Amino acid sequence: MSESMNSKLEDRRDFLKASALVAGVAVGPGVLFYGIAHSRSPEEGASSKQRWGMLIDTTKCAVGCNDCVTACNTENGLSGKTGEQDSQWIRKLNIKHLQTGVEHNLPMLCQHCENPPCVDVCPTGASMKRADGIVLVDRHICIGCRYCMMACPYKARSFVHEPLTEQNPEVPRGKGCVESCTFCVQRVDRDETPACVEACTASGHQAMLFGDLNNPESDIAKAMKTVATTEVRADLGLNTGVRYQGI
Amino acid sequence: MANNICLNQKECGKSTGFWLLLTLGGLVMLGTLSAFFFLEHHGHIKTGMTNQIVWGLPHVFAVFLIVAASGVLNVASIGSVFGKKMYKARARLSALLALTILSGGLAVLVLDLGRPDRLIVAMTYYNFKSIFALNMIFYNGFFAIVGLYLLTMMDRKLKPWYKPIGMLAFLWRLALTTATGSIFGFLVARAGYNSALYAPMFIIYSFAYGLACFIVVQAAMYKWNDIEIDEAVLCRLKNLLATFVAAALYFTAVLHLTNLYFAKQWDFERFLLSDGGIYTLLFWGGQVMLGGFLPLLLIFSPGARKQPAILLIAALLVIIGGHAQMYVTIVGGQAFPLDMFPGYAESSSFFDGVVHAYSPSVWEMMLAVGGIATTFLITTVAVRVLKFLPEDEIKDPSSTVGQH
């Protein structure tokens, strides 16, 4: 009787040891990565305490430089092709004043509006704005009606016209859905800057500044207090998260 | 006259013709479904639609049908809401067409979705701020209400409900077309849209397109059953069509005159009215001439009172003009580039600042005509198995029953 009880106790100890080991193996890397990333957990969600924004200095945006576009394509797995049916999340725009002939170069991307028309018109709610101001498309409920593309004042959205392969696992995309700049949300959630901003800084042009508009201590908030900035199509009252200076 | 009417083709010994019609419609439908599966597999890359022209030919045909569907119900509404007997005799056919035409329009819209497999998502996730989502509610409600309306016409026991449901259907269809027009009216950023006029203008368009569709179907049914339309009825229908076509022209004129008054809209108006190539041609030649002035000219020509063929041609012209209008509104409105920086010329790798090109592929043409095929098939079967043929028992079409 007592032998059988001892054997049962040993079995139980072995079981508990094995369970602890399995649990350790399973949880350990997660804890480790969490520590490395220094980012908030997925459960935490985006917070309205922040509003992510971008300030683009058109006087520093170099003619012929396409580094931001290339970086965006690499980060998000876009082909980089520029046909009428290809996706472009960011593009270099040249504008020339009709009377004076003055030219400006600037990157045009989703302006991450506070009142985004794409979100208003989306029938299913797939077009949505996170609490921190980043405008995204929920690929699970986008039905591909393209009404958001009709509504966007910046032509910032693209429709995926053909099947895709070799995607970046962090940036799932799919045929038949609409997509646009996400401010590289996967990077922002790791406390990194969007790929375009990183590339612009690396090239030495320093034309793009990314940060929290709500944080008065952030570089972008300080810069916006000192220079005159322009909101594209300000007449629409959308309060864009992307601002330009030098126009 | 009513005693001689063949309720369906079988009684008239024209069964072969019926099957011939079904085969014809079926073949077109087969083409549509082939195009759908082809596009579903390969993606929209096989269409002429792009990231600049995101809505193309399928939307032109679909929106025309949706607008016409609400308008075709007018015939029934004039009968039940305003108590006109002549229209009451046509109420069943009018309600049937409202259902079948809407089915056709919605079928094309759904088949053109990037993810048609997610239709259930569209039915279960609603963003109530979206006029598109509200449209889905209006479409579903329209099916339910007009279905009930039809029942009250066919079942004597439900007769007490005929008037109240008729009134509800009338109000619902006005709301539906308001919402359809607002799909364009609410697009704040584009020069071609962004006007509250789109809502009432689409209602007026629907009156004209719907009545034109009704006249064509009625003419086909009368021809099939060797019935001659009563002269008084003919006169009434032609005057009504003329009123609607004139009103449609009026709204079109007001929209463009308003735009011409706003300096910021001049470039767009210059594009559409003068320099827009195919869009200018379709506007003046298709929408205004073929779909507007020519039908009016025909309707008021000396022989129109005696010649049903003239009314039929006028109605067909209104339908052709309606498609031209939808092409100008939907494709033309997108072809004109967005003006993000007023006062500047814009250029980029994403076709900023240039008029966008669009040439529909054969696949999307096959998809686009699927709506007409759907409508044709359901209508053909319905008029054969049930009694929808308009029967005129009175000689005086102006007589009224239970006027308000």
Q: Which domains does chain B have, with CATH numbers?
A: 13-356+366-384 (1.20.1630.10)
Q: Are A53 and A243 in contact (CB under 8 A)?
A: yes
Nearest chain B CA: its distance from A81 CA (Å)? 10
Query: Quick one: pLDDT at residue B84?
Result: 84
Which residue, among B98, B107, B21, B125, has the nearest Cα to B61 in the 3D structure?
Answer: B107
Structural domain boundaries in chain A: 2-38, 46-245
β pairing state of A242-245 and A52-57: parallel
A132, with CB counted inside 10 A (0-12, 13-18, 19+), is buried
Query: Quick one: pLDDT at residue B303?
Result: 85
What's the mean pLDDT in B73-81?
91
ipTM comes to: 0.90
What's the mean pLDDT in A99-124?
97
Contacts (Cβ under 8 Å, ≥6 apart) of A129: A112, A114, A116, A119, A135, A136
Q: Using CA atoms, how far apart are residues A81 and A69, in angstroms rounded to an integer?
A: 11
Q: Using CA atoms, how far apart are residues B132 and B180, in angstroms rounded to an integer?
A: 8
Return the CATH number of the domain spanning residue range A46-245: 3.30.70.20
Nearest chain B CA: its distance from A19 CA (Å)? 41
Query: Quick one: pLDDT at residue B403?
Result: 38
Q: Using CA atoms, how far apart are residues B198 and B178, in angstroms rounded to an integer?
A: 8
pLDDT class of A29 with cuts at 50, 70, 90: low
Cα angle, residue B64 at apex, residues B168 and B365 outer, rounded to 5° = 145
Q: Do B187 and A91 make contact, defined as CB atoms within 8 angstroms?
A: no
Cα distances (angstroms) measured from residue B279 to each of B269, B287, B327: 11, 10, 8
Which residue, among B202, B145, B157, has the nearest Cα to B329 in the 3D structure?
Answer: B202
Q: Do B122 and A124 make contact, defined as CB atoms within 8 angstroms?
A: yes
Query: Quick one: pLDDT at residue A5?
Result: 58
Interface test with B, best of A135, A137, A146, A239 (most B CBs within 10 A): A146
Q: Are B221 and B389 in contact (CB under 8 A)?
A: yes
- Selecting from B119, B129, B132 the residue whose C-beta is nearest the C-beta of A147 gives B132
Q: Which of A48-52, B84-88, B289-293 is most confident?
A: B289-293
Across chain B, mean pLDDT equals 92
What's the mean pLDDT in A228-238?
96
Chain A positions touching B126 (Cβ under 8 A) are 123-125
Query: Quick one: pLDDT at residue B398?
Result: 53
Lowest mean pLDDT among A96-100, A128-132, B14-18, B52-56: B14-18
pLDDT class of A1 with cuts at 50, 70, 90: very low
Question: Is the pLDDT assigned to residue B5 strictly greater than 60?
Answer: no
